[in-house]
Each structure stands twice: as structure tokens, then as C-alpha cells.
Amino acid sequence: MFVEIENLKYKYPTSNELTIKDFSLQMEKGEIVAILGESGSGKSTLLKLIAGKEKTKVGKIVIDGDVVVDKKTCKSPKKRGIGIVFQEHDLAANKTVEGNIKRTLPLLMAKNAKEDRVEEMLDLVDLYIFRDRFPKELSGGQQQRVTLAKALAPEPSLILFDDPFRNLDPSTQKNLREELRAILKKAGITSIFVSNNKADAKVLADRVLFMEDGEIKQTCKPEEVYNVNL
Ligand code: ADP
Ligand code: MG
């Protein structure tokens, strides 16, 4: 399995109960899993634990054979090779589309290789003609596509999406979720997508998990999301 998460548990120091109760997930390379849950169910916390932004040694996380969490290990976010896309885009206002993508590439990467990679990303997210624009000159959907290009550029082994369409208008949401599936499948990248929107999961995912109070209560196929009442 490409991603193996076993019995992950987490309690915030200030909390009395576990925020993540006992989470396990196995994913194949290139698979897209959506996790649906109400606000407060623990989705963001789960992604932070996977990315290493919250620390735990309870449970196990292995990505492409690399142990990032177990009882002796808790690798730093940088050493995990995971990309994250949040609902708020995190673009530098004073850099162009091209500049924003370029700055996520490794410092030591050769100049030519960097330029090639940026071109490839601009092509993938279909923003080639906007390469010289600044973030404020783009629509919300275009900004999210730059954020996606930024996350994909360093070739992460796994990419995590924390409700990335939440702040977009419904028609942009609809277009972007269809595009996103195509982009991820084309790049062959393994992804976990969390949301509280069933339509996101239906269109994007290969498999859907329902989370409630820090636990997975049900799993279904994307076409069955509207049959689940949670
Ligand atoms: P979701 O992303 O599904 O809305 P979160 O993972 O953000 O859920 O939150 C899950 C629970 O953990 C909530 O009850 C929230 O209040 C709590 N929580 C989130 N962040 C912290 C924190 N830094 N410290 C303490 N509790 C937190
Ligand atoms: Mg959240």
C-alpha cells in the first residue's frame, strides 16, 4: 500500500477527550479519498497530523515505504514530502503566478529544471496565459489553481486538501472540482480531500469516508454519498 495509517490517535493538550479517536486508512498510489464531516468532526486535525503540523507518536503513518510517524518517530513537516492546499490560498501578493510557483521548488534545483517544472505546472492547471499576473489580478478559482500548482510543483508523494473550495462561489466550485479530479488523475498523485460538501466527494473521490467526532463512521462509493445520512 502506498499510504498506510494505523490507529492514529490524538488529543490536544487543552482538551479532555481525543479529537482523533482511532483512525486507520490504507491507500493505493494515485487514489483520491474524500473525508466528509461536519465542522468540528476533526478533519483539519487529521490532516495536520498527517502533514506533521500537529505532533503525535501514537499510531503509525507510512508513506511510500517511509515511516513518518510511529512510537519512536515523528518527522518534521519538511521531511514528509506532503503538499497541502487550504481553503485560503496562500499566495505571495508581490509575486506573479510564475514567481509563486517557482519559489516552492528546492533552492538547489538547476535553473533550467526549475523553469521546465514551472511551465509544466502552468500547463497542468491551465494558467499559462496568466503567468505574469499578480494574485489580485486573478479570480478566486484561478487563485486556487495557482495554489494547487504550488503544492504539486515539488512533486509531493501525497497531497492533502482542506476544504479548498469553501470560499468560492457555487459555479466556480463546480468547475474546479471537476478540473481538480482530472488534474490529480493526470499527475497520478495520491490525495486526501476533506470537506463537508457531498458534491465535492461525489465528483472528486474514488472512495468516501464519513467522519463524526473524530471517528470514521461509514465508508461508501462516491456515487452513494447521497444515500448516507450522517
Ligand atoms: P474540522 O476541521 O472537522 O472542522 P477540527 O479538526 O478543526 O475539525 O477540530 C476538531 C476539534 O478539535 C474541535 O472540537 C476543535 O474545537 C478542536 N480543536 C481544533 N484545534 C484545536 C487546538 N489547537 N486546540 C484545542 N482544540 C482544538
Ligand atoms: Mg477544518
pLDDT of residue 68: 97
206 CA distance to ligand 1 centroid (A)?
A: 26
Q: What is the rounded CA–CA span in Å between residue 56 and residue 127?
A: 38
Q: Which three cell numbers stand for residue 130?
A: 496568466
**Confidence grade of residue 67 (pLDDT, cut at 50, 70, 90):** very high
Residues with CB under 6 Å of ligand 1 are 12, 14-15, 19, 37, 39-45
Mutation test residue for ligand 1: of 10, 44, 45, the one with most atoms within 8 Å of CB: 45
Residue nearest to atom 19 of ligand 1 (CA): 45
- List Cβ neighbours of 128 (8 Å cut-off, separation of 6 or more): 119, 122
Per-residue pLDDT for 88 more than 90? no
Per-residue pLDDT for 200 more than 90? yes
pLDDT of residue 229: 86
Strands 3-10 and 20-27: antiparallel
Residue 186 burial by Cβ neighbours in a 10 Å radius (0-12, 13-18, 19+): exposed
224 CA distance to ligand 1 centroid (A)?
A: 28
pTM, full prediction: 0.93
Per-residue pLDDT for 89 more than 90? no
Q: Which three cell numbers stand for residue 196?
A: 463537508
pLDDT in tens, 204-221: 999 999 999 999 999 999
Poorest-pLDDT segment among 43-52, 86-95, 150-159: 86-95
- Phi/psi region, residue 19 (left: phi>0; alpha: psi -120 to 50; beta: rest), is alpha
165 CA distance to ligand 2 centroid (A)?
A: 12
Residue 226 burial by Cβ neighbours in a 10 Å radius (0-12, 13-18, 19+): exposed
Per-residue pLDDT for 175 more than 80? yes
pLDDT of residue 172: 87
- List Cβ neighbours of 226 (8 Å cut-off, separation of 6 or more): 198, 202
pLDDT in tens, 140-159: 999 999 999 999 999 999 99
pLDDT of residue 215: 96
161 neighbors 149 (Cβ within 8 angstroms): no
